[in-house]
Amino acid sequence: MRPATALALCAALASTALLTGCGKETAGAPASPGATCAPDEPVVDPDGRTWDNVRVVSGKCGPSGAPSTGYEVTNTDKEPLTFTLTFSLVNGFGEAMDTITRTVEAVKPGQTVRRPLDAADGPGSARAYRARLMKVRAVPADGTGGDCPSSGVRITNDRGDAAMGLRVVGIHLENCGAADYRLDGYPALRLLDEDRHVVTGVKILDGTTAISTGIGGDAAPRPVTLHPGESAYANLAWRNTTTEGDPVNAPYVEVTAKPGAKPVTVTPELDLGTTGRLGVGPWTKTPAGAGQE
């Protein structure tokens, strides 16, 4: 992973890091009373890789000094960030047993947040594994999750769908404010690479028909009024075909819901291949009772 602009991240993880006594969320605070923690020491990644702005450490925490698994994130940016971390849990034979994702919302500038890395079976269930950090994403926190932002809307993306090289991801806008919110047309997009630098050379199309038909982005735009609690979506569609040239990847997308709105950064993980095209559907009101996948 290349260095992220204005961002330093420490992800503390391994088979010996942070038991429950020190594994609770903290904000740069000392460990819990009664906890005994050995100094953190660097640990070689299972694959021998290095990660810019990521520190892999080990330590023994808790009254018993027993080993466990955890992670730590530090925000050195000038604004609150929401981190999404993807881990692979590896057994003693080096075999990947599970992939898990953890989100740490609204980490303040200068704040450190430490948490245990528990697997699906509950607290301490990741203790038998080494945790390999696979991917880190960090976006400005305002507008993506947690409390309703000052704009009155929250913008997120779903996990999407893929079949035979065709990709479709939904951008979702929720009116979490107290007043109606009106949309008309297509969201404006700016594609960003891993370092949150602008990606050029990709043609953004109104509608998704040129990518494929019948995927929910063919209709003409029409005005949408969202009452408090209601949502709308816009589908992104592309093909990840790779021929001659370097493939284009844009993990981050900056979404401007309508003219004059504040941009919000989401992570739809666009693997555009060498096609150079991205289709964008119009804002469409989400049917009542429909969930985000």
Contact 22, 60 (CB under 8 A): no
Q: What fold characterizes domain 153-285?
A: Immunoglobulin-like (2.60.40)
Region of residue 199 (left: phi > 0; alpha: psi -120 to 50; beta: else): beta
Calculate Rg over the CA atoms of the chain.
21
Residues 6 or more apart in contact with residue 70 via CB below 8 angstroms: 12, 13, 17, 18, 19, 22, 23, 114, 115, 116, 117
Domain ranges of the chain: 20-140, 153-285
Between strands 130-140 and 248-250, the pairing is unpaired
Please report how many Cα atoms fall inside a 13 Å half-sphere around the Cα of residue 179, on the Cβ side.
5
CA–CA distances in Å: residue 86 to residues 83, 229, 260, 262: 10, 30, 34, 28
- From first to last of the 293 residues of the chain, give the pLDDT tens digit: 443 433 344 444 433 332 222 333 333 333 333 333 444 444 444 444 334 444 444 444 433 334 446 777 888 888 888 888 888 877 777 777 888 888 888 889 988 887 777 655 555 555 566 777 888 888 988 766 667 888 999 999 998 887 778 999 999 999 999 999 999 999 999 999 998 999 999 999 999 999 998 887 788 999 999 999 999 999 999 999 888 889 999 999 999 999 999 999 999 999 999 999 999 999 999 988 766 65
Q: CA angle 272-8-127, nearest 5°?
A: 90
CA–CA distances in Å: residue 124 to residues 5, 28, 35, 43: 34, 23, 16, 20
| DSSP characters over 207-243 | BSTTT-SSSS--SPP--EEE-TT-EEEEEEEEE----
